[in-house]
Amino acid sequence: MAWNTPGNKGGDGPDPNRRRSWDPRGGGGNGGGWGNLPASLKELFDGGVGRWILVAVVLMVLFSSFQLIGEQQRGVVLRFGQFSRILQPGPNFKLPWPIESVRKVNATEIKTFSNQVPVLTRDENIVNVSLNVQYQISDPRKYLFGSRNADLVLEQAAQSAVREQVGRSDLNTVLNNRGPLAIASKDRLQLALDAYNTGLAVTGVTLPDARPPEEVKPAFDEVNGAQQVRERLINEAQAYAAKVVPEARGQGARTRTGAEGYKQAVISKAEGDADRFTLLQEQYAGAPEVTRKRLWLETVQKVLSENRKVIGSDGRQVIYVPLPADAGRAANAGGNAGTGAMPSMVPQDVLLNPPQSATSEAIRNPERGPRPTGREGTEQ
Q: Which of 71-85, 226-240, 304-318 is least confident? A: 304-318
Q: What is the band of 314 on the pLDDT scale with cuts at 50, 70, 90?
A: low
Is the pLDDT assigned to residue 264 strictly greater than 90?
A: yes
What per-residue confidence (pLDDT) applies to 225?
Answer: 85
Q: Are residues 192 and 264 in the same domain?
A: no
Are residue 262 and residue 320 in the same domain, yes or no? no
Number of neighbouring beta carbons within 10 Å of residue 185: 27
Segment 199-218 mean pLDDT: 85
Average of pLDDT values for 361-371?
A: 49
57 domain-assigned: yes
What pLDDT is recorded for position 253?
92
- What is the dihedral angle through the alpha carbons of 334, 336, 339, 341, rounded to the nearest 10 degrees? 50
Distance CA 46, CA 111 (A): 58
On whether residue 136 sits in a domain, the answer given is yes
Is 204 domain-assigned?
yes
Print the domain residue range for 97.
37-105
Q: What is the pLDDT of residue 265?
A: 93
Residue 360 confidence (pLDDT)? 44
Residue 299, pLDDT above cutoff 70: yes
Q: What is the CATH number of the domain that holds 154?
A: 3.30.479.30
Question: What average pLDDT does the chain have?
Answer: 73
Asked whether the predicted pLDDT for residue 17 surpasses 60, the reply is no
Count how many domains the chain has. Answer: 4
- Report residue 292: phi and psi, to 5°: -65, -45
Flag whether 370 is in a domain. no
Q: Is the separation of the CB atoms in 109 and 136 below 8 Å?
A: yes
Model confidence at 2: pLDDT above 90: no
List, for residues 334-363, the tens digit of each pLDDT value: 444 444 444 444 444 444 444 444 444 444
Question: Left if phi > 0, otherwise alpha if psi is -120 to 50, otherwise beta: which for 83?
Answer: beta
